[in-house]
Amino acid sequence: MTTSLNEPPGWVQDAVFYQIFPDRFATSDRIEKPAGIEPWESPPTPNGYKGGDLLGIVERLDHLVDLGITALYLNPIFQSAANHRYHTHDYYHVDPLLGGNDAFDELLAACHERGIRVVLDGVFNHSSRGFFQFNDVLENGASSPWLDWFHVHKWPLHPYGNKPANYGAWWGLKALPTFNTDNPEVREYLMRIAEHWAHRGIDGWRLDVPQEIKTPGFWEEFRDRVRAINPDLYIVGEIWGDASEFTNDGTRFDGTMNYRLTTAILGYVIGDRADQAAILDNNDNYVIDRDIDGVRYADLVDAILASYPPHVHVANMNLLDSHDTARIMSIASNDVASVELALTLLLTFPGAPSLYYGTEIGLEGFRDHDTRRSMPWDEGRWNTDLLTTTKKLIALRNDHPALRSADYRRIDTGNDDGMVTMFSRHGAGETLIVAVNTGDNDETVRPEIGLGSELQSIWGEGTAVNGEFSVPGRSAAIWRAAPATPD
């Protein structure tokens, strides 16, 4: 499978992603750890390490295969002095606590043997205080040959303490000095990093805060260079709002992390069950409206669909939660039905669904560091009913090409204030009808969909008789339309 530079890789629309925060997923006895590692089951802390590593992921790949996962998105893995590793020290070396480059090679090979793609997190807007070139500036001041790699405002620099940093830093965080990407040396350095890991065999880059890089032509060159190495390499940007400027013309990103869909789904399925303490309150692009009915949800989806052409819709990374948000189970105040309804909407929407590790077993976690809890491998602590539902929904998506297509059509239920939303999915000669009822009461609707064919129930307890659809409260149903009979 190969694609042109301007087309998203064909494999993405068929993928089901699993996001792993490496320090918290699994640990392997094959990698030695220092004595100061925190206990696995203790609450996460801002600076502590739990000791998760890449070989731990290798040893748990059977869990992912059994779940139906076909792609991994890994939070940063490069050498760093932070458990999240967004403070990069060395872009060419995997962090020793994760097992180093040899462990990465083993993980990549093990994933590819199982048909699982691997996408890495690229943090190219900023580095860290421990990044060699910035450390040289701290040591040698204006005499450093790397002075123009960063944005030095005046002297002295204050990388620690309460005094002004006097250098450019992401969101003013002293630990994250921003690169001067207008400097050709910096630009070339970052391009070569991207090329290096493309040559090593990765399947994609998830780009951290890419809109922060304003240098004209930077992302266009990035795309050209990595796709010249691997025409099927996926490029997805972390843009929380409308990303059409970065995706639609095919010169920069294939898709975006679709947080607009995230907030629409969460508001619709969770409603007033939402725990306000779990909801982000400092991001205008992450606002959960807790009063969304079926029509309002359909309107929000229409707005998303209007923002992108079909080739972008199938390349967007769709998600319910991540390392940057509270977990859906905590947002939903531990209401399992809300999580199951959200998964239904996620896995029946165009694009690549992405599960944050532990969602499938009901792992909880509030904002900030708590959303990065360690994965519990004691299956007695798992919500096995939720796990079973997740597996079945992923299998349903994998079994029906219509659910992986770009063809999504709103169905007017005829009930302007009901809690049911309906839509159809079309592809590979099949049509599926999806109905979701997030209200507490059973609801019956009679949409004018004009299928003119028999419907076969393939999910849920809803009924469809003589054009009338009935869906129990807090549930979803999916029907397959029988192929039309030739005249």
In this prediction, residue 367 has a pLDDT band, given cuts at 50, 70 and 90, of: confident
Q: Residue 356: which H helix or E strand, with range?
A: strand 352-356
With respect to residue 75, please indicate whether it lies within any of the assigned structural domains. Answer: yes
Q: Are 345 and 461 within one domain? A: no
State the virtual CA torsion across 60, 115, 232, 55 in degrees, nearest 10.
20
Q: Are 375 and 469 within one domain? A: no
User: What CATH number is associated with residue 477?
Assistant: 2.60.40.1180
What are the DSSP calls for 112-174, one per residue? Answer: HHTT-EEEEEE--SB--TTSHHHHHHHHHGGG-TTGGGB-B-SSS--SSSSS---B-BGGG-T
Residue 2 scores a pLDDT above 70: no
pLDDT of residue 487: 37
Residue 274 scores a pLDDT above 80: yes
Residue 98 scores a pLDDT above 90: yes
Of the candidates 310, 189, 205, 296, the one whose C-alpha atom is nearest the C-alpha of residue 253 is 205
Known catalytic residues are 208, 238
In this prediction, residue 443 has a pLDDT band, given cuts at 50, 70 and 90, of: very high
Return the percentage of the chain with pLDDT > 70, whole number: 97
Q: Are 266 and 377 within one domain? A: yes
Q: Report the DSSP pairing between strands 255-256 and 234-237.
A: parallel
With respect to residue 130, please indicate whether it lies within any of the assigned structural domains. Answer: no
pLDDT of residue 368: 85
Q: Are 418 and 292 within one domain? A: no
What's the half-sphere exposure (Cβ side, CA atoms, 13 Å) at 207? 29
Q: Are 77 and 23 within one domain? A: yes
Please count the structural domains in the chain: 2
Q: Which residue has the higher pLDDT, 282 or 100?
A: 100
Q: Structure tokens of 85?
A: 């590793």
CA-to-CA distance for 237 and 258, rounded, in angstroms?
9
Of 334, 365, 399, which one is at a domain's C-terminal end?
399
In this prediction, residue 451 has a pLDDT band, given cuts at 50, 70 and 90, of: low
Average pLDDT in the chain: 95
Of 399, 417, 447, which one is at a domain's C-terminal end?
399
pLDDT of residue 430: 94
pLDDT of residue 121: 98
Answer whether 352's CB lies under 8 Å from 71's CB. Answer: yes
With respect to residue 235, please indicate whether it lies within any of the assigned structural domains. Answer: yes
Q: Are 361 and 301 within one domain? A: yes
Of 344, 377, 399, which one is at a domain's C-terminal end?
399
CA-to-CA distance for 225 and 219, rounded, in angstroms?
10
With respect to residue 157, please indicate whether it lies within any of the assigned structural domains. Answer: no
Q: Are 324 and 446 within one domain? A: no
pLDDT tens string 20-63: 999 999 999 999 999 999 999 999 999 999 999 999 999 999 99
Residue 485 scores a pLDDT above 60: no
DSSP code for 276? G
The whole-number average pLDDT for the span 216-232 is 98
In this prediction, residue 453 has a pLDDT band, given cuts at 50, 70 and 90, of: low
The whole-number average pLDDT for the span 105-116 is 98
- Cα torsion angle, 150, 153, 155, 158, sign: negative
Distances (CA, A) of 366 to 92, 321, 360, 378, 437: 33, 11, 17, 21, 26
Q: Report the DSSP pairing between strands 204-207 and 255-256.
A: unpaired
Q: Are 232 and 352 within one domain? A: yes
With respect to residue 152, please indicate whether it lies within any of the assigned structural domains. Answer: no
Return the percentage of the chain with pLDDT > 90, whole number: 92
With respect to residue 82, please indicate whether it lies within any of the assigned structural domains. Answer: yes
CA-to-CA distance for 19 and 4, rounded, in angstroms?
27
User: What CATH number is associated with residue 304?
Assistant: 3.20.20.80
The residues facing 410 across adjacent strands are: 423
Q: Are 318 and 416 within one domain? A: no
Q: Are 440 and 314 within one domain? A: no
The whole-number average pLDDT for the span 241-270 is 97
Structural domain for 440, as ranges: 406-481
With respect to residue 149, please indicate whether it lies within any of the assigned structural domains. Answer: no
The whole-number average pLDDT for the span 379-397 is 98
Q: Are 377 and 411 within one domain? A: no
With respect to residue 168, please indicate whether it lies within any of the assigned structural domains. Answer: no
Q: Are 242 and 306 within one domain? A: yes
pLDDT tens string 282-324: 788 899 998 999 999 999 999 999 999 999 999 999 999 999 9
Residue 4 scores a pLDDT above 70: no
